[in-house]
Amino acid sequence: MEGQVRGLQQMIENGRYCVDVSHQTDAVIAALRRVQSDMLRDHMQALVQAVIAGDLPEAERRRLADEMSRLVAKVV
């Protein structure tokens, strides 16, 4: 991803054709979305496991559920 961003920066500095820059921008955004999706998936899995195991008090479960709802709404 870092290489993609550097490549995008270089394209802009070199005055590359805007459609090419747009395609590279889409690739960078897609990579960031994958990172975000993987992170949220892992976080939700951990939350569900903790709830099933009964490791969290009710208030904490509600707080985390609200947090996840806000994150999912933001992503979607």
CATH number at residue 58: 1.20.58.1000
Angle at 32 (CA atoms; ends 50, 14), nearest 5 degrees = 165
What pLDDT does 25 receive?
96
Query: Which residues 6+ apart lie within 8 Å of 35 measured at CB?
Result: 1
pLDDT for 19-62, tens place per residue?
Answer: 999 999 999 999 999 998 898 888 888 877 877 887 778 888 88
Nearest to 8 by CA among 31, 32, 25: 25
Asked if 56 and 50 count as a contact pair (C-beta separation under 8 A), the reply is yes
| Residue with token string 């709802």 | 69
pTM equals 0.70
* Contact call for residues 11 and 28 (beta carbons, < 8 A): no
Q: How many domains does the chain have?
A: 1
The domain in which residue 25 lies consists of 2-75
pLDDT of residue 36: 87
Q: Quote the tokens at residue 70.
A: 């806000």
The mean per-residue pLDDT over the stretch 7-24 comes to 96
